[in-house]
Structure 1
Amino acid sequence: MVYVLDKNGQPLMPTDRHRKVRLMLQSGQAKVIKRCPFTIQLNYDSGHQTQEISLGIDAGSKHIGVSATTKIKVLYEADVELRNDIVDLLSSRRELRRGRRNRKTRYRQAKFNNRRRGNGWLAPSIRQKIGTHLTVVENICKILPISRIMVETASFDIQKIKNPAIQGAEYQQGDQLEFWNVREYVLFRDGHTCQCCKGKSKDKILNVHHIESRKTGGNAPNNLITLCETCHTGYHKGTVQLPKAIKRGMRFKNAAFMGIMRWAFYEALKQQYEPVATPVHNTYGYITKHTRIAYNLPKEHYVDARCISGNPEASSNGEYYYQKKVRCHNRQIHKLTVLKGGIRKQNQATYLVKGYRLFDKVSYQGKGYFVFGRRQSGFFDIRTLSGEKVNKGSLSCKKLKFIATRTYYLTERRAV
């Protein structure tokens, strides 16, 4: 499928006439705008006749499924993998900032007036994912004349997941009802008894221990356990091991994200596209599931998006695009390890290494790969988007052929 733009950059209907496209490129009637997905722009005035195209969006916390269809044909399908490292990066930055302030400005007075959050504030991790959803839709609207947008944003009842029999006023009576804080609740839940030695150490001092680090697991009650001072200190020194029965409880991070982003994403789409006469509609997960089962379709993100678009019978050409959102910038200047003499290594590589940037698309032995690592010696680490390496070691850049410069959405074509 070749996507076509008119002379003014407005999207037209795509074409499968590859020979005609090749002749137009050779004669100068068109030029290449993008390689993946392959998009051309016409250099002459043309009509603007389009068909009804419905865009289905299967929103998610880890993957986005998108499908642009007519009644009989699939024009574009993609599975977009989102970033899930925002919380980890922010936690690392907070640790470094606190350590630096403790070393440099230990006696500086605290400032709280600049910590106020305005109306509609969203956590950075959630805001980044919603922004990615909007950018994915915007990129599709740049190459296809979308007529309407259908979006499915699932909602989860976390209380129902924890307790299937919950009902009525029980929703207002959570586990931590009448407790001052999480620590008090955890101590009461564990009977003020060490869950490692069960009181055999005779240590009366009790601590609340994170099963997974706070950076990874947070301060949720199911990630906390009561330990005595002796077991807690011994565990962190490596002399005490916790019982295998102590494990972190269920995670509700993704379910909480979907509940928060549900209406924020839908309202943002309406504000952006309804003023330009592109209606936005909302649908529900049970409708998508019923449609997929009725038409005997596989469970994939882009297939769900096809069902959401309202054209589950549209025929596909057997291909879809797999995209991966990557980090735009790395603002950490130095590495954490300090060498002799107080010297810190630079954490950022030079802009170009042997003419290549990070995530540039290259060709090796007739196949497309992406640059995941660069060395000043000229030996690079190239991989597919799924993380598959070409070989165990690195490859010389002399064996690589440059295809396209990096983008923030790495794209490769895959067979169904």
Structure 2
Amino acid sequence: MRVVVLNKRGKPLMPCSPAKARLLPKERNAIVVRRTPFTVQLTIATGETKQPVSLGVDAGYKHVGLSASTEKAELYASEIELRQDITDLLSARRELRRARRNRKTRYRGPRFDNRIRTKRKGWLAPSVENRINAHLSRIEAVLRLLPVTKITVETASFDTQLLKNPDISGKEYQEGEQLGFWNIREYVLCRDGHVCQHCYGRSKDPVLNVHHLESRRTGGDSPGNLITLCETCHKALHRGEITLKAKRGQSFRAEAFMGIMRWEVLDRLKASHPELEVQNTYGYRTKHVRIANGIAKSHCADAFCIGGNLGAERLGEFFFQKQTRRNNRQIHKLSILKGAL
């Protein structure tokens, strides 16, 4: 992988070969400022001739691919694994606060008059905001290392109703699957024919319950996460005496996120870097370019195709990063560690 070079003021220059980078510190013309990726900062004045550098961003719900390249060579390639625990941590914190209020112990009072949605336009859910900020922070990290002149982000929009029903058209878009039902419970019972989906009536129990296949804390109350069980099977399930074969229906979290971040990342990049050319592309274009050039599928490969410099010599490796939790507060844990207050 090529070595990142900064000038005396810390501004990015064109990278150099590892052989040349080894000589610079020995001759006291540069100092090492970072190990991964290997970065040196010059201690002498030098010319700052730069070439156009294009940064391709393969945006995603779980992974992000980045590739910076010139017409001749790929300069930087990385893959980032995003956090998937935001929703679960926030739900656990909410449950702990509610439990403390009920026990009349130390607690944080509910703030019904301090809802952020009413105070700031454009509010996004914390899980969505975290992923968008992760995209932006990784892009900013590359901009600090390379003199990028153009950024291309792959965006996508999904028709979730079309994914559920491929034959949907016209006014059917305004008539959801719960049309004519008072609530979700009534819809689920009708969908399952008012029959227990485990014993199918063999228990002779007339009382029916609606069970969450995935925890309500993280799975929500969507119809795909609900199933009809008689009270006998429902209690036996919670006692661990039986197991369900049914699985949660298709979740559209990733599709919803991609629809939200579609313009959000572009707008924030344009606002923070008006001097750069920021544009978007689409997944079908990336797929066509990748297949036409015989490139194996990966997040870094998609980012390379998005960058547009298909004649550049590719790097044989990439920089893998995994986003981790920064804070580890005792008050957010379900089981407090021994000795913690």
Fold-level similarity (TM above 0.5): yes
In structure 1, what residue type is equivalent to 2:314?
Answer: S
Separation in 2, partners of 1:110, 1:74: 52
Residue-by-residue CA offset, 1:52-109 (whole Å, 9 max, x unaligned): 0011101001111111011121011111111111111111111111111111169x99
- How big is the shift at 1:196? 2.1
Contact kept in structure 1, 2:93 and 2:332, CA below 8 Å: no
Q: CA, structure 1 residues 212+148, in 2 after alignment: closer, same or farther (shift >3 Å)?
A: same
In structure 2, the partner of 1:263 is: 263
The Cα of 1:322 is off from its aligned counterpart by 1.0
Within the candidate set 342, 345, 349, 2:338 is matched to: 345
Partner of 1:9: 10
Counterpart AA for 1:75: L
Output the CA distance in 1 between the equivalents of 2:224 and 2:165.
14
Give the match for residue 103 of structure 2. 103
Q: The residue matched to 1:89 in structure 2 has which SS?
A: helix
1:46 pairs with 2:39: no
1:387 paired residue number: none
Aligned ranges 1:72-91 → 2 under 5 Å:
72-91=72-91
Q: Please say if 1:211 is aligned against 2:229.
A: no
Q: Amino acid of the residue matched to residue 323 of structure 2?
A: K
Deviation (angstroms), 1:320: 1.3
Q: 1:293 to 1:33 in 2, by over 3 A?
A: same
Q: How far did 1:44 drift?
A: 1.6
Contact 2:92 2:334 in 1 (8 A): no
* Aligned ranges 1:1-400 → 2 under 5 Å: 1-16=2-17, 18-104=18-104, 111-117=111-117, 118-242=120-244, 244=245, 246-274=246-274, 277-333=275-331, 336-337=334-335, 345-346=338-339
Distance 1:109 1:271 in 2: 37
Gap change, CA 1:31 and 1:109, over 3 Å in 2 = closer
Q: CA deviation at 1:216?
A: 3.7
TM-superposed CA distance for 1:23, in Å, is 2.6
Instruction: Measure the CA separation in 2 of the matches of 1:211 and 1:335.
Output: 24
Q: CA–CA distance in 2 between the matches of 1:332 and 1:176?
A: 42
- Aligned mates of 1:302, 1:321 — CA distance in 2: 10
Alpha-carbon distance in 1 for matches of 2:268, 2:82? 19
Q: Assess if the C-alpha contact under 8 Å between 2:77 and 2:315 holds in 1.
A: no
Q: CA RMSD in A?
A: 2.2
Q: What does the per-residue CA deviation read over 1:363-383, in whole Å, with 9 as the maximum and x for residues that have no partner?
A: xxxxxxxxxxxxxxxxxxxxx
Q: Percent identity?
A: 56
Q: Which residue number corresponds to residue 357 of structure 1? A: none
Instruction: Tell me whether 73-82 or 187-196 shows the greater mean CA deviation.
Output: 187-196
* Structure 2: gaps (5+ residues): none
SS in structure 2 of the partner of residue 319 of structure 1? coil
- Greater shift after overlay, 127-136 or 167-176? 167-176
Mapped contact 1:58–1:304 kept (Cα < 8 A): yes
Change (3 A) 1:120 1:198: same
Task: Encode CA deviations 1:181-238: one digit per residue, 9 max, x unaligned.
Answer: 2112111212222222223333332211011221342222111011122221121112
User: Does the aligned pair in 1 maintain the 2:67–2:300 contact within 8 Å?
Assistant: yes
Give the 3-state SS of the residue equivalent to 1:96 in structure 2.
helix
* Distance apart, 1:131 and its partner CA: 0.2
Matched to 1:2, the amino acid is V
TM-score normalised by length of structure 1: 0.77
Distance 1:176 1:346 in 2: 51
In the alignment, the residues of structure 2 paired with residue 86 and residue 347 of structure 1 have an alpha-carbon distance, to the nearest angstrom, of 23
More strand by share: 1
Provide the rounded CA distance (Å) in 2 between the counterparts of 1:317 and 1:203.
65
Deviation at 1:324?
Answer: 1.1
Structure with greater helix share of residues: 2
More deviation, 200-209/316-325: 200-209
Tell me the matched-pair count.
Answer: 338
Contact kept? 1:335, 1:347, Cα under 8 Å? no
Distance 1:101 1:46 in 2: 64
